Structure 1
Amino acid sequence: METSIEGVAEDAGGGAQPAQPPVAAGPAAVADRAGVVAAPEAAPVPMATPPDAPVPVAVPPASLSPSRAGDFMQCPLLYRFRVIDRLPEKPSEAATRGTLVHAVLERLFDAPAAERTAPRAKALIPGQWDRLKETRPEVGELFADDPDGERLARWLTDAERLVERWFTLEDPSRLEPAERELFVEAELDSGLRLRGIIDRVDVAPTGEVRIVDYKTGKAPRPEYAEGALFQMKFYALVVWRLKKVVPRRLQLVYLGSGDVLTYDPVVADLERVERKLLALWDAIRLATETGDWRPRPTKLCGWCDHQAHCPEFGGTPPPYPLPVRPAGSG
């Protein structure tokens, strides 16, 4: 649901891994020196590209989201493959389950408060799964080799467990979200455009704003908590720049482990995030102009769909589709 942050303003009254060091000096090192720490997120469930579909025209990146910032910090070459080359990716069971659970938790708030129960939420799963297959037919391929439906049944049971666990962490009968799946976008003074989708925005009677994000994985270890909060501080910065309202609380709800991570930001926090994002964007622009997108091997490479195109695995990236600035031109 794309909607405006205006509604928030009116009501308000005004286990991830840490980023690894670069393997060589390059555009990514610019961001590292600025201290940007972005926990890599689960890849979105992409739309499959039909064999006869026209190849999309490559354009330089024009905006930054938390997930794409995480991609660049995880591996600049991964960012290129997703944003510039737009290579297709296969859906994964974990990411698709996360999409399904998010849809169920969003739709549950359509019901009156007294009817927001665990049984009702679980009853929404089959319908939301059918809807997901209609809007993203490629996810049906996940269980194409499951003729008896046993693996699908286990997968849906896992989704039910995640939904049930949510009720041990929050009480939806006492919540009336101001927004769900809220698309936000803001342009900084520098011209950098930030955008993203917030799972839930709560507004207290006193006008205080809480930003909530659901995670279907497990909570990170304490030493990685800062990286996990990067996405939430990103959203808080966008809301602050849009409406001059600093969210009172940022809340990550980890359904995989049953943990809730909270953080109360202040203006100084958001100013630091903005500086880090500007440094990150400078690094992305440099890589875009020079075509220097270096891979950064980590253990996350084992889950990457693009090994066939990655030099670390003996592959060759596709021809760079954008103009490259000549060496020594600035």
Structure 2
Amino acid sequence: MVITLERFSYSGLESYKKCPAQFKFRYIDFIRKPDEGIEAFMGKRVHEALEFLYKEVQSGRIPIIDSIHDYYKSIWNDKWHNRIAIAKRGECKEDYFRLGEDCIARFYRKNQPFAERVEGIELEIDFKLDGNESYRMKGIMDRLDHDNNGKFEIHDYKTGKRALSQSQADSDGQLALYQIALEQQRDDVKDVTLVWHFVRYGIEIRSKRTKEQLQLLSESMQKRIDEIRLKEKEGADFPPKPMILCNWCYYWEECPAQQGTNPYIR
């Protein structure tokens, strides 16, 4: 069997780093599960609500917070299904719905009147590390701002519990990879700022990268891709790494480190 992956994503490569077995189940064996964690479900709906907000802004309209909440409620109800799991004991669907509402309200208050020059929303990107076809990457920018003078901001919305510290943001790879893509595909880039919005807390973290840092990141991603391809070619194991995050994993039935279905998911 030859690996069929033509493009890699940052999240996929991070999945391999955390648990090679989970990476294999999802990206090589293509085992798709109908299950979804409620944290991920809520995060997607918040992203869609913020996408709706900025599309309105791009059209010259600034919606009131109630209309964004109405949109959020509508897509929450439309996309809810019976395979959404809650792993954390003592919490329910309504708790996460309200958490999403709070995230949206907090972001709205912090960022109005939305005067940013937004160039793109939910932009799909496809690029090559060092221009090499063997290292094709893909991703989605939540938002790209541009002041029309060569200064860009790459924005990412995070709904999870963990907010990065400044030092963690300065070494994080996801948005830096998007900067590599931006600089590769445009010739008008003079300055790039990476911006994380931790919407649970109303925290915004900004960071920049040097050319040397971007090159080191590119090389480390290429090395990880080479490792994955070599393992697959040689039929080597993709071993599981048991950890607390297993409580949120849907591959217990396939995983040699587990037995049966995941008892933490209900």
TM-score normalised over the length of structure 1:
0.68
Taking a change above 3 Å as real, the CA distance of residues 128 and 175 of structure 1, as seen in their structure-2 partners, is farther
Runs of 5+ consecutive residues of structure 2 not aligned to the other structure: 261-266
> Equivalent residue of 1:234, what SS?
helix
Taking a change above 3 Å as real, the CA distance of residues 144 and 201 of structure 1, as seen in their structure-2 partners, is closer
- In the alignment, which residue of structure 2 is the partner of 1:190? 132
> Equivalent residue of 2:257, what SS?
helix
Matched, 1:266 2:266: no
Asked if the contact 1:100/1:125 (under 8 Å) is kept, the reply is yes
Structure 1 Cα separation of the partners of residues 220 and 55 of structure 2:
38
RMSD, aligned CA? 2.6
Counterpart of 1:101 (choices 29, 46, 50) is: 46
- In the alignment, which residue of structure 1 is the partner of 2:197? 253
Instruction: State the Cα distance separating 1:254 from its structure 2 match.
Output: 0.4
Counterpart of 1:120 (choices 52, 55, 67) is: 67
- In the alignment, which residue of structure 1 is the partner of 2:181? 238
**Equivalent residue runs for 1:83-162 within 5 Å:** 83-89=27-33, 90-112=35-57, 113=60, 115-131=62-78, 133=79, 139-142=80-83, 151-162=92-103
Runs of 5+ consecutive residues of structure 1 not aligned to the other structure: 1-56, 134-138, 316-330
- In the alignment, which residue of structure 2 is the partner of 1:163? 104
Structure 1 Cα separation of the partners of residues 37 and 147 of structure 2:
37
Instruction: State the Cα distance separating 1:63 from its structure 2 match.
Output: 1.2
Asked if the contact 2:118/2:146 (under 8 Å) is kept, the reply is yes
Amino acid at match of 2:106: R
Structure 2 Cα separation of the partners of residues 268 and 81 of structure 1:
34
Q: How many correspondences in the alignment?
A: 248
Matched, 1:294 2:236: no
- In the alignment, which residue of structure 1 is the partner of 2:119? 178
Structure 2 Cα separation of the partners of residues 238 and 280 of structure 1:
18
Asked if the contact 1:211/1:247 (under 8 Å) is kept, the reply is no
Amino acid at match of 1:237: I
Structure 1 Cα separation of the partners of residues 85 and 46 of structure 2:
21
Matched, 1:75 2:22: no
More strand by share: 2
Asked if the contact 1:250/1:263 (under 8 Å) is kept, the reply is yes
Share of identical aligned residues, percent?
25
> Equivalent residue of 2:81, what SS?
helix
Asked if the contact 1:210/1:248 (under 8 Å) is kept, the reply is yes
Q: Deviations over 1:22-57 (max 9, x none)?
A: xxxxxxxxxxxxxxxxxxxxxxxxxxxxxxxxxxx9
Instruction: State the Cα distance separating 1:212 from its structure 2 match.
Output: 0.2
**Equivalent residue runs for 1:208-247 within 5 Å:** 208-218=151-161, 219-221=163-165, 224-226=168-170, 229-244=172-187, 245=189
